[in-house]
Homo-oligomer: A and B are copies of this chain.
């Protein structure tokens, strides 16, 4: 059985020490991926510590993705090598894998959820009931592969009104979440192509491409977004970007870089841009910059968006807009797939959009999120840590960066906050390529937090920052 010395644990608590020892052995592969760890009870007995201590260490390791548990079987070392030399961790808080049990935080700034109180239950239920009685026949006939036409028409209308995009409903393909659509795109564009993703970026994007056996390159960003030179250098053929609000940096790609990107795409028959517009609805100031698709005359851009941010992340509905030649190819080769979203949900969403509720809901949410953001930024600026804190990229979407001037690593600070119930992830956790970071930027996603959580959490962070600076 694994045995560790508890002699020179320094200032660490017992569980911290144990957590670090196991983590080190997993990283060094002394404990192999998939290897079973001792049961909590036997481990505790062997080390002469309490079961609670082992449990705390295991929980921390689970939270960080180093180990996982299988009910009635025990704890196992995760395969961390597949996540790269260093790890863009176990992704956003979007799913706790095996059991669905996840740690409850006082405040989770790494989250990706919706705000529970904001969902328009009454309207949604009313429309859903209307659909159930109005559309009995439609509800039992399979919609076309791309999705229910009423929904695709409603989306086309929305895109015209709010994104100034003129697209045919037939160009729109409804999917069961963006991950599903990423997979479809690999089938459409080919897995032998080289896919470029943003670094730092949303970790799932690369994981879906890799799980689909596509070649992935992590392309660095500069202040304007993805680097076109690097796309060339890495021979990328399909660039997956989020120009309207990059995750996690929050950067907005200016029009000049957008043209540059379109120029890059037009220099190769097989080059495409996947424009991931995931939270563009929540731009808070100024007019939005035109989407790449709306200014693309060469049919090089695939537009993608989701209802996860704008309706609810449990709705699992997203869509992409294919340029016309790809639309034809999609229908020729992939329309044997059934549309994967329950018809009733598609019809309800169509009504929600058509009757103007979607727009109202977004406006309401935008105001709400603006208040959240203002509360957050004001609380930070008024807190004792203000002198050591800077807020970056706060004008769009549902997250910004908090730059802290602290004398420790991102990981260390995240660990300190984690133990106080505040989940905070450093920008470095989303970076693929190692960088010598003197700056400590933390992702602040505020979409699912209450005012109370915001104030409490900022105060806790501030206390720790001030302590570190003393």
Task: Show the binding face of A for B, using Cβ within 8 Å.
Answer: 33-34, 68, 70-73, 76, 78-79, 82, 90-91, 94-100, 113-116, 119, 121, 124-125, 128-129, 132-133, 136-137, 139-146, 148-149, 168, 170, 176-177, 179-180, 183, 187, 191, 203-204, 207-208, 211-213, 312-317, 324, 327-328, 331-345
- B142 A95 Cβ-Cβ under 8 A: yes
- B339 A342 Cβ-Cβ under 8 A: no
Q: How far is the CB of A321 from chain B (nearest CB, A)?
A: 15
Q: How far is the CB of A87 from chain B (nearest CB, A)?
A: 12
Q: Which residue of B lies closest to A313 (CB)?
A: B142
Question: What is the CA–CA distance of A285 and B33 in the complex, to the nearest angstrom?
Answer: 49
Contact (A116, B132) CB under 8 Å given A95-B336, A144-B95, A180-B180 = no
Which residues of the partner chain B approach A337 to less than 8 Å between Cβ atoms?
A: 95, 179, 208, 211
- A176 B187 Cβ-Cβ under 8 A: no
Contact (A317, B342) CB under 8 Å given A79-B333, A140-B116, A213-B191 = yes
Question: What is the CA–CA distance of A71 and B97 in the complex, to the nearest angstrom?
Answer: 43
Which residues of the partner chain B approach A313 to less than 8 Å between Cβ atoms?
A: 140, 142
Which of B97, B128, B170 is in CB contact (< 8 Å) with A70?
B170
- A314 B143 Cβ-Cβ under 8 A: yes
- A342 B328 Cβ-Cβ under 8 A: no
Question: What is the CA–CA distance of A97 and B336 in the complex, to the nearest angstrom?
Answer: 7
Q: How far is the CB of A164 from chain B (nearest CB, A)?
A: 21
Q: Which residue of B lies closest to A77 (CB)?
A: B332
Which of B94, B176, B335 is in CB contact (< 8 Å) with A341?
B176
Which of A72, A82, A141, A177 has the most chain B CB within a 10 Å cutoff?
A141
Question: What is the CA–CA distance of A314 and B179 in the complex, to the nearest angstrom?
Answer: 21
Contact (A312, B140) CB under 8 Å given A82-B333, A95-B335, A95-B336 = yes
- B179 A176 Cβ-Cβ under 8 A: no
Which of B33, B124, B145, B212 is in CB contact (< 8 Å) with A95?
B145
Which of B98, B124, B136, B170 is in CB contact (< 8 Å) with A121?
B136
Which residues of the partner chain B approach A213 to less than 8 Å between Cβ atoms?
A: 191, 213
Q: How far is the CB of A197 from chain B (nearest CB, A)?
A: 14
Which residues of the partner chain B approach A343 to less than 8 Å between Cβ atoms?
A: 314-316
Which residues of the partner chain B approach A211 to less than 8 Å between Cβ atoms?
A: 187, 333-334, 337
- B341 A96 Cβ-Cβ under 8 A: no
Q: Which residue of B lies closest to A176 (CB)?
A: B340
Q: How far is the CB of A327 from chain B (nearest CB, A)?
A: 7
Q: Which residue of B lies closest to A327 (CB)?
A: B70
Which residues of the partner chain B approach A142 to less than 8 Å between Cβ atoms?
A: 94-96, 113, 313-314
Which of A179, A327, A337, A341 has the most chain B CB within a 10 Å cutoff?
A337
Q: Which residue of B lies closest to A140 (CB)?
A: B116
Which residues of the partner chain B approach A345 to less than 8 Å between Cβ atoms?
A: 342, 344-345
- B113 A140 Cβ-Cβ under 8 A: yes
Question: What is the CA–CA distance of A208 and B72 in the complex, to the nearest angstrom?
Answer: 35
Known pairs A70-B170, A78-B332, A99-B149 / 4 extra A-B pairs, C-beta < 8 Å: A33-B332, A72-B168, A115-B140, A177-B340
A-B CB contact pairs (8 Å), 14 listed:
A70-B328, A82-B333, A95-B142, A98-B144, A98-B170, A116-B141, A128-B128, A129-B129, A176-B180, A179-B340, A187-B211, A211-B333, A314-B342, A340-B340
Question: What is the CA–CA distance of A136 and B121 in the complex, to the nearest angstrom?
Answer: 8
Which residues of the partner chain B approach A137 to less than 8 Å between Cβ atoms?
A: 116
Q: How far is the CB of A384 from chain B (nearest CB, A)?
A: 34
Q: How far is the CB of A102 from chain B (nearest CB, A)?
A: 8
Q: Which residue of B lies closest to A211 (CB)?
A: B187
Which of A125, A183, A314, A339 has the most chain B CB within a 10 Å cutoff?
A314
Q: How far is the CB of A338 from chain B (nearest CB, A)?
A: 5
Which of B170, B212, B338, B341 is in CB contact (< 8 Å) with A342?
B341
Q: How far is the CB of A146 from chain B (nearest CB, A)?
A: 8
- A316 B340 Cβ-Cβ under 8 A: yes
- B140 A114 Cβ-Cβ under 8 A: yes
Question: What is the CA–CA distance of A95 and B341 in the complex, to the nearest angstrom?
Answer: 13
- B140 A119 Cβ-Cβ under 8 A: yes
Which residues of the partner chain B approach A140 to less than 8 Å between Cβ atoms?
A: 113-116, 119, 312-314
